């Protein structure tokens, strides 16, 4: 058996590849390297440069490597960009996911794990938000992911494709061993932006919206360490392989932090102020979103190890310093 990881040269995908190879799994990475980095892929994995929409390529990889599971990370993830380019997001996140799914069904792949998002919930009325709450995305990004979840549900019913969709909350931090992290130079992830600003790599950062109905007026998010998120994927893979039921699971800690809370954590970690400018709201941003995450613990047996904002920030800051040294050489 082998595992195919789409988008395995990216931030979260590269962590998954490390976890799989650390566990002795034969791992094949399919990535077009449009945003990923070949150097971020574990040397124990096989990297194939290609597109997830190429059904013949996917079927060849499945046959050649006897792949029994696909872990699907590849896609576009910037919410404001999805608002300005919705058709691009529906192509990359929905149409190509359909092609990948079709190839999986034709090649008789048994198990499919999908990288979904809390953006499917939109601007929830109540927090925390649970898997049983009605999805109501407010951005094309969230809608594109929800549509893929629906295709997976229907493919499970029609073709027997077993799946788990993991709805990520805000992923941050880096591999505790320092092997990979968020490496996109102009990534929009708040913790990365704040760390880059702290290190002088950006002249400053913007805080989008200070008039939300939250304690300090800024957006609240549930931040999850990338290594804990990957542990949930490994639990999901084990669950499906032993015949567990398909389903959808939130991945978060159940506690929210505001934008200003994050900036404060970065300031503590770096020992200096982070220059920031207060500005207007950004399109597609909900005021707050926090996970109801009991289901993933109960059914998948997930046990997070890094549930601490300061720890998450310290690992992210350490990775930014590593990148600074790497890029200087």
| Cβ partners under 8 Å of residue 196, min gap 6 | 202, 320
Catalytic residue among 11, 141, 212, 257: 141
**Cα separation of 109 and 164, whole Å?**
14
How big is the chain, counted in residues? 329
Q: Is 141 a catalytic residue?
A: yes
Query: 98: left (phi > 0), else alpha (psi -120 to 50), else beta?
Result: alpha
As given in the structure block, the two tokens for residue 134 are 């009605």
The torsion region of residue 66 among left (phi > 0), alpha (psi -120 to 50) and beta comes to left
Widest Cα–Cα separation across the chain:
56
* 116 vs 103: CA distance, rounded Å: 19
Tokens of residue 315, six digits: 């690992």
Cis preceding linkage at 221, omega within 30 = no
- CA distances 309 to 33, 55, 144, 203, Å, are 30, 41, 29, 24
**SS3 assignment, position 43:** coil
The Cβ of residue 154 has, within 10 Å, a number of other Cβ atoms equal to 12
Catalogue the active-site residues. 141
């Amino acid at each position: 058996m082998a595992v195919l990881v789409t988008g395995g040269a990216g931030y979260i995908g590269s962590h998954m590849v490390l976890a799989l190879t650390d566990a002795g799994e034969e791992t094949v990475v399919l990535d077009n390297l449009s945003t990923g980095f070949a150097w971020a892929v574990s040397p124990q994995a096989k990297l194939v440069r290609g597109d997830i929409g190429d059904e013949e390529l996917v079927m060849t990889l499945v046959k050649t490597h006897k792949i029994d599971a696909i872990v699907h990370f590849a896609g576009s993830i910037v919410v404001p960009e999805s608002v300005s380019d919705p058709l691009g997001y529906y192509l990359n996140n929905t149409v190509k996911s359909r092609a990948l799914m079709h190839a999986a069904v034709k090649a008789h792949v048994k198990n499919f794990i999908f990288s979904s998002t809390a953006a499917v919930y939109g601007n929830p009325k109540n927090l925390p938000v649970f898997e049983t709450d009605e999805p109501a995305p407010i951005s094309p990004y969230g809608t594109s992911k929800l549509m893929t979840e629906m295709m997976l549900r229907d493919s499970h019913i029609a073709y027997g494709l077993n799946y788990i969709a993991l709805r990520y909350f805000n992923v941050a931090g880096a591999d505790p061993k320092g092997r990979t992290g968020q490496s996109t130079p102009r990534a929009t992830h708040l913790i990365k932006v704040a760390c880059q600003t702290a290190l002088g790599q950006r002249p400053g950062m913007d805080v989008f919206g200070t008039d939300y109905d939250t304690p300090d007026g800024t957006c609240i998010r549930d931040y999850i360490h990338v290594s804990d998120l990957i542990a949930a994927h490994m639990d999901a893979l084990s669950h499906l392989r032993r015949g567990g039921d398909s389903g959808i699971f939130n991945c978060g800690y159940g506690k929210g932090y505001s934008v200003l809370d994050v900036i404060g954590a970065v300031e503590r970690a770096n020992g200096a102020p982070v220059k920031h400018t207060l500005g207007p709201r950004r399109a597609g941003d909900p005021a707050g979103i926090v996970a109801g995450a009991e289901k993933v613990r109960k059914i998948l047996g997930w046990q997070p190890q890094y549930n601490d904002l300061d720890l998450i920030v310290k690992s992210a800051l350490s990775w930014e310093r590593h990148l600074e040294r790497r890029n200087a050489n």
